[in-house]
Amino acid sequence: MEPVTILEVEKGLHEIPFETALFGMGCFWGPEARFGGIPGVLRTRVGYAGGTTQNPTYRKMGDHTETLEVDFDPTLVSYEKLLSVFWNNHYPNRDAYKGRQYLSILRYRSEEQRLDIERVKKEMEAVLGEGIETEIAPFESFTLAETRHQKYYLKRYPKALEQVEVLYPIPEMLVDSAFAARLNAFVKGFGTRQELITEITRWPITSDAQHVLADTLQTMKW
């Protein structure tokens, strides 16, 4: 088997037509792990959105909210499904939060997403038996959070991270890696090793790349 060049590992995944969703549901570390384990999710990244403060950072967030941005393949997972995950995994009423940092927010990027939000929201309110106060508005901007916040749970395993960084030595590559998103989910308890290996065999990447990722996962030291 010829060696797989770094830039080719996930090339096929980056060629898939995708949609992007933005969620704010409390601290962004947990949601990134949860959504990162969903088949059909291609990339996850955490950052700041929903406010007007220029150039927000973790220490100077201003009126922004911690958010998660997700690129997904709509042929494998629907926006409605992601909305269901969103509303079933945090408390979406404003009185639960002080300030805007951990607010429940949605930002839609199309009329189709807006209509899906409206429909799923009504369904969830019927289930909850109360109104949902998630802040809903058109997408305006998203500022990527600092590198240390990306794939936070994976980074708590330095030995594993070292092995992943052999394939993705540039931080920006790790942020946009589906494999890293799955590992970040795995170490948080979302999915199993065998489920991930099986999923990798279905990814539209070369067979050499599939073998490299599967072998990396099978031999990973934690």
Active site residues: 27
Nearest residue to 26 (alpha-carbon basis) of 85, 91, 75: 91
User: What string of DSSP letters covers 35-69?
Assistant: HHTSTTEEEEEEEEESS--SS--SS--TT-EEEEE
Compute the distance between CA of residue 123 and CA of residue 24 in angstroms, rounded to an integer: 19
Burial of 55 (0-12, 13-18, 19+ CB in 10 A): exposed
Compute the distance between CA of residue 204 and CA of residue 200 in angstroms, rounded to an integer: 9
Sole residue written with tokens 């199993």: 192
Nearest residue to 65 (alpha-carbon basis) of 35, 90, 36: 90
* CA distances in angstroms from 159 to 33, 56, 62, 182, listed in the order given: 19, 31, 35, 17
User: What string of DSSP letters covers 150-205?
Assistant: TTTTGGG-HHHHHHHHHH--SHHHHHT-HHHHHHHHHTTTSS-HHHHHHHHTTSSS
